[in-house]
Amino acid sequence: MSTHDSSSADDGGLVQLLLPDGERIADAGYDKWVADVDDDQLKSLYEDMVVVRRIDTEATALQRQGELGLWPPLIGQEAAQIGSGRTLRQDDFVFASYRENGVAYCRGVEYTDLLRVWRGHTHSGWNPYDINMAPSQVIIGSQTLHATGYALGCQQDGVDTVAISYFGDGATSQGDPNEAMVFAASFQAPVIFFCQNNQWAISEPVGLQARAPIASRAPGFGIPSMRVDGNDVLAVMAATRIALDRARSGNGPTYIEAVTYRMGPHTTSDDPSRYVDVLEREGWQAKDPISRLEAYLQSRGLLTDEFTGRVNATADDVAAKVREGCLGLEPPEPLSVFDHVYSEPTSWLERQKDEYVQYLQTFEGGQ
Ligand SMILES: Cc1ncc(C[n+]2csc(CCOP(=O)(O)OP(=O)(O)O)c2C)c(N)n1
Ligand SMILES: [Mg+2]
């Protein structure tokens, strides 16, 4: 395989198996990687995408109702996250950013664990070893180093576990992902660099920081790359399987650029109407990942009322559980914010804690 895999010439080498109107197109290089995806699996991928979008809208509503401090929506990126997340093995390990709630869903995260950080109840949402996914990383790009280090450990242990790191287009301008790629290539680490290019890094358009397709940078590090339509769940799945196969068979890292779009704000604190052109957003709306799979299912006679009714009922049920779990979280003991910052207390942390005790005492019933 060449260092820059792109058997589809469309749209500057973008790998596509499902066109925006739901037409399934053949691709000699990639078809075989999804040949086993039968009708039931297609329906299951659709259900996953509908459910994670629903989790996202519910969490956004909870934030708007004052129940969460902040929420980073994934809307528009469901195919990139489900298509890749569903291909991983349980023992593979995920290192992601704050936006990969769809991947966490694939890993089997408890719904409440998705929210507790954003309600200010904990430093971290879940036990990483329960779902083999590290807690969300907000320090942009640093999880690429963690993934590479973990992959090197797997290599040393002689196991065929793969580490996958998810990060954004903006993160590619940071040093960490570039340093991680140098290490991963040097030691042929079993790691996947999965860049969700959602076109924006807060209000910074991707074109400003990437003058050439992001995927084209990786071969310069000696890492093969693929540029896939990130709104095409089948193309994402095929690309991730290629990368997993390469890593498991001892052939080192792969870089995937999933070209997608952030349909919502950066976070609930952001107002994209101040910087996103309405026409740009409408253009991407027409490439929506869920409606394109819906159209494909329809063309295969799989989109029955019974099926969509069941999917919507599941999504309603999950949303109700998300809300219930969020509202049911017991407020933490205020001073617990100082716990687990370091394994050993430091003098300045103790000082901050004392100051906070005094502050709390200024309130009636303060501690
Ligand atoms: C090291 C670091 N620098 C800056 C920030 C502030 N920041 C938070 S999100 C973000 C943009 C990230 O964009 P991208 O990597 O494209 O990911 P996306 O949010 O689009 O998923 C920035 C600059 C940060 N969290 N960490
Ligand atoms: Mg981005």
| pLDDT tens digits, one per residue of 40-95 | 999 999 999 999 999 999 999 999 999 999 999 999 999 999 999 999 999 999 99
Find the ligand nearest to 98 CA. Answer: 1
Residues 180-189: pLDDT tens digits?
999 999 999 9
Is 3 a residue whose pLDDT tops 70? Answer: no
Residue 202 alpha carbon to ligand 2 centre in Å: 7
Angle between helices 289-299 and 39-64 (to 10 degrees): 150
User: Whole-angstrom Cα distance, residue 93 to residue 107?
Assistant: 10
264 & 352 share domain: no
* 315 & 349 share domain: no
What is the distance between the alpha carbons of residues 140 and 167, in angstroms, rounded to a whole number? 8
| Number of domains within the chain | 2
Are 47 and 90 within one domain?
yes
What pLDDT score was predicted for residue 10?
34
The CB of 201 under 6 Å from ligand 1? The reply is yes
Name the token pair of 32.
């075989």
Q: Which of 275, 310, 340, 351 is catalytic?
A: 275
Residues 175 and 84 in one domain: yes
Tell me, using a 6 A CB cutoff, whether residue 292 lines ligand 1. Answer: no
Ligand 1 atom at minimal distance to the Cα of residue 267? 19
> What average pLDDT score do residues 3-24 get?
70
pLDDT confidence of 16, banded at 50, 70, 90?
A: very high
CA of 78 to the centre of ligand 2 (A): 14
- Residue pair 196/80 in contact (Cβ under 8 Å)? The answer is yes
Domain for residue 22, yes or no? no
Judging by DSSP bridges, how do beta strands 204-205 and 200-201 pair with one another?
antiparallel
Which residue among 217, 227, 246, 266 is the active-site one? 266
Residue 4 has a pLDDT of: 37
For residues 52 and 127, membership in a common domain is answered with yes
Q: How many A from CA of 214 to the centre of ligand 1?
A: 16
Give me the residues paired with residue 284 across strands: none
Give residue 12's pLDDT.
Answer: 57
275 shares its domain with 346: no
When pLDDT is averaged across residues 238-251 and rounded to a whole number, the result is 98
Q: Could you give the C-alpha distances from 270 to 202, 275, 283, 313, in angstroms and in order?
A: 8, 10, 21, 31
The per-residue pLDDT of the chain, averaged, comes to 95
Q: Whose CA is nearest to atom 20 of ligand 1?
A: 201
* pLDDT > 70 fraction of the chain, expressed in percent and rounded: 96
pLDDT band for 112, please (50, 70, 90 cuts): very high
pLDDT for residue 365 is more than 70: no
Closest by CA to 77, choosing from 110, 55, 44, 108, is 55
pTM above 0.85, yes or no: yes
Tell me the H-state helices in 328-367.
Answer: 347-360
pLDDT band at 6 (very low <50, low <70, confident <90, very high): very low
Average pLDDT of the residues in 132-152? 97
Distance CA 83, CA 104 (A): 13
Residue at 271 is within a domain: yes
Q: Which of 168, 147, 41 is nearest to 100 (CA)?
A: 168
Statement: residue 366 has pLDDT above 60 = no
Mean per-residue pLDDT for 12-28?
94
Domain residue limits at 358 = 337-367
Residue 252 covered by a domain: yes
Testing ligand 1's pocket by substitution, the residue of 140, 193, 200, 269 carrying the most ligand atoms inside 8 A of its CB is 140
8 within domain boundaries: no
